Amino acid sequence: MSQLQGKVALVTGGSRGLGAAIALRLAREGAAVAITFTSKPDKAQEVVEAIQKDGGKALAIQADAGDVAAVQAAVARVAKELGGVDILVNNAGIAPMAPLDQFSLEDFDRIVAVNVKGLFVATQESAKHMKEGGRVINIGSVNSDSMPFQGGAVYAMSKGAVASLTRGLARDLGPRGITVNNIQPGPVDTDMNPAQGPFAESLMKFLAVGRYGKAEEVAAMVAYLAGPEAAYVTGANLKIDGGWDA
């Protein structure tokens, strides 16, 4: 696989779970890959070493997605050290949940800062370095369209904003030959929401295929959107949800 040979990809929140799977897949496709992480530098280093072991080029940068200056600096460093930014995967996100009367304004501000503002800033900065054929791939959620349990209102709102931003940014960047798309996963087996975790039983009933998704399955969709065959796909909100919304 070498459809991304010569490309530079930045995956925010790429040290574990879905982000790590995406980083590894893009590297397998030939891209040089930078990841950002907020904490757990050991996990970020594991991703870098796995890519390097297979002959790829990788870079890990500590940058909180909710810190505007840190995001701006991370993008600038990627462009300087790896030679540009061709693919941005806005994967970093948080999901604090609580009933309305218990949801703090601090958590509200934080979820907007990371899931929405951080995504916008990363896109704004990365677009400065992108040429024709650039790709912006957002990781949203099926919850932007359906929220079947209590406590997830603000998370759903933030992912709804991602869906709307995707459509608008596709218009902004389309004339430059840059596509912008949003992948909306259903439940995926990661350490944040394990298939054997406390929420799994209640969520399983919504899945037509009767199982959680795999991080590698979402990464495969990212790889397609990042590649040349997806040049006519933009402004799309694409579900990969096991029939959650069927």
How far is residue 140's CA from residue 115's CA, in Å, rounded to a whole number?
A: 9
Has 155 been annotated as catalytic? yes
Q: Which amino acid is at 139?
A: I
Check 155, 212, 224, 232 and give the catalytic one. 155
Q: Any long-range contacts for 139-143 (C-beta under 8 Å, 24+ apart)?
A: 139/18, 139/89, 139/90, 139/91, 139/93, 139/182, 139/183, 139/185, 139/218, 140/166, 140/182, 140/183, 140/184, 140/185, 140/237, 141/184, 141/185, 142/184, 142/185, 142/186, 142/239, 142/241, 142/244, 142/245
- Secondary structure of residue 124 in the 3-state scheme: helix
The first and second tokens of residue 202, run together, are 């209640």
Q: How many whole angstroms from its chain centre is CA 51?
A: 18
Please give the positions annotated as active site.
155
